Amino acid sequence: MSRPLRLNIVPRTLWNKSLAHFLPNWNEVRDKVCSCGCCAFCDAQTQPNKLHAHEVWKYNDETHTVDLRDIVPVCENCHMVLHFGKANVDGKKKEALAWYCKVNGVPKDIAKHEILGAFEWWRIRSEYPWRFNPGLSVRVEQITGISCAGSTIGNVVYLNVPFSEKDEAKALGARWDMNRKMWCIMKDKLRERPGVFNRWMIPDCDVSVLLNGDDVEPVQGIKPIKEHEAEQTLLSEIMRGI
């Protein structure tokens, strides 16, 4: 039985932290999830290698922690809807909206209302730092039956290292992520050498939060972000002309 096709957009502060970036055997996980050859949202039948493995997350808006609920196979059209922001950038928002309406059996005005609501939640959640709850590797194994021992989920921080400084960063303990084509550092290295990597930290990274490890505490108040106005502009643009 297919599930409702709904947007649950990853907060900006969790971008570049998907399972695909941290699981050493992500390809094996993806192949297992997609082996059924059927989309979880629209029931479309297709070849497994044409499906995407989509991570389903549950966001706790009180503790600002995130739990993995499922990993499901998704066809190209449903994947386009789930990544509506990218569809907008690619000039495919009309197609994405039409597919949302078709799969969910709702008229255009209701679909637009639901999609705008999802982006509003995204804007709000993007104002906070988020943490993965412990046990993600175990959860992946429960879902897929595949062991993920040795994963680095939630323990990697990406760095903006100029080419001219790569040797210095490497000597300090940074490593090159072949999948992301970016330099990164394990959180335990940050704790051992506080301040050493600050000049390469991506602006969105809150060093004090990263160094707190896996402690889970509610975040008090809204964390201001410079891109707030830009996000409001995006919300308006998403629905313009459709």
What average pLDDT does the chain have?
A: 80
**Using one digit for the tens of pLDDT, what is the confidence trace for 99-121?**
999 999 999 999 999 999 999 99
Count of other CB atoms within 10 angstroms of residue 167: 10
Residue 198 CA, chain-centre distance (Å), reads 23
> How far is residue 156's CA from residue 189's CA, in Å, rounded to a whole number?
10
Per-residue pLDDT at 142: 92
The pTM of the full predicted model, rounded to 2 decimals, is 0.69
Per-residue pLDDT at 223: 39
In the chain, how long is the greatest CA-to-CA distance? 57
Tokens of 95: 């197609």
> How far is residue 9's CA from residue 7's CA, in Å, rounded to a whole number?
6
Q: Which residues pair with 82 in a beta bridge?
A: none
Q: Hey, is 201 helix, strand or coil?
A: strand
